[in-house]
A and B are shown apart, each in its own frame.
Chain A
Amino acid sequence: MDKSSPALSRRRSRRLHPMPIRVMHWINAAAMLVMITSGWGIYDDDVIVRGLHFPQALRLGDWAAPSLNWHFAGMWLLVLNGLAYLSYGLVTGRLRERLLPIRIADLVKTVRDTLHLRIAHEDLTTYNAVQKVLYVVVILAGASQVLTGLAMWKPVQFSGLVSLLGGFQDARVVHFLGMSVIVGFLLVHVLLSLLVPQTLWAMLAGGPRVGPSGHGEPAPLP
Chain B
Amino acid sequence: MRSPFRPAAPPDPAILDDHRRLIRSLQRRRLIQGGLSLGALTMLTGCDVRRPASVQAALLAIRDLNDSLQALLFDPNKLAPTYPASMVLNPPRFNAYYDVMKVKPVDGAKWRLELSGLIGDKRPWTVEQIEALPQRTEIIKHVCVEGWDYIGQWSGVPFRAFLERVGADLSARYVGFHCADGYTSSIDMASALHPQTLLATRYGDDVLGDPFGYPLRLRMSTKLGYKNPKWVTAIEVNNVRPDDMWDKPGYSWFAGL
| Residue ranges of A at the interface with B (Cβ–Cβ < 8 Å) | 42-43, 45-46, 60, 62, 64-66, 68-70, 72-73, 76, 154-157, 159, 163, 168-169, 172
Any chain A CB within 8 A of the CB of B249?
Answer: yes
Beyond A65-B251, A73-B63, A156-B256: 18 further Cβ-contacts under 8 Å? A43-B147, A62-B51, A64-B145, A64-B146, A65-B249, A65-B250, A66-B250, A68-B250, A69-B60, A73-B62, A154-B256, A154-B257, A156-B80, A156-B81, A156-B257, A157-B73, A157-B257, A163-B81
Q: Which residues of B contact A46 (CB under 8 A)?
A: 144, 146-148
In the assembled complex, B116 has its CB within 8 A of some CB on chain A? no
Contact of A169 among B51, B60, B149, B251 (CB under 8 A): B149
Give 6 CB contacts A-B under 8 Å: A64-B146, A65-B249, A68-B251, A69-B60, A70-B59, A156-B221
Partner of A159, one of B60, B66, B80: B80
B residues with a Cβ closer than 8 A to A are 50-51, 56, 58-60, 62-63, 66, 73-75, 78, 80-81, 141, 143-149, 221-222, 246, 249-252, 256-257
Q: How many residue pairs at the A-B interface have CB separations less than 8 Å?
A: 68
Known: A64-B145, A156-B80, A157-B256. A69 touches B62 (CB 8 A): yes
Cα separation A163 to B75 with both chains bound (whole Å): 18
**Which of B66, B74, B147 contacts A42, CB < 8 Å?**
B147
Shortest CB–CB separation between residue B190 and chain A, in angstroms?
13
B75–A66 contact, CB under 8 A?
no
**Chain A residues with Cβ under 8 A from B257's Cβ?**
154-157
What is the CB-to-nearest-CB distance from B40 to chain A, in angstroms, rounded to a whole number? 26
Return the contact of A66 from the options B59, B74, B145 (Cβ within 8 A). Answer: B59
Contact A72 B62 (CB under 8 A): yes
Nearest to B248 among chain A residues (CB) is A65
* Chain B residues whose CB sits within 8 angstroms of the CB of A45 once the complex forms: 145-147
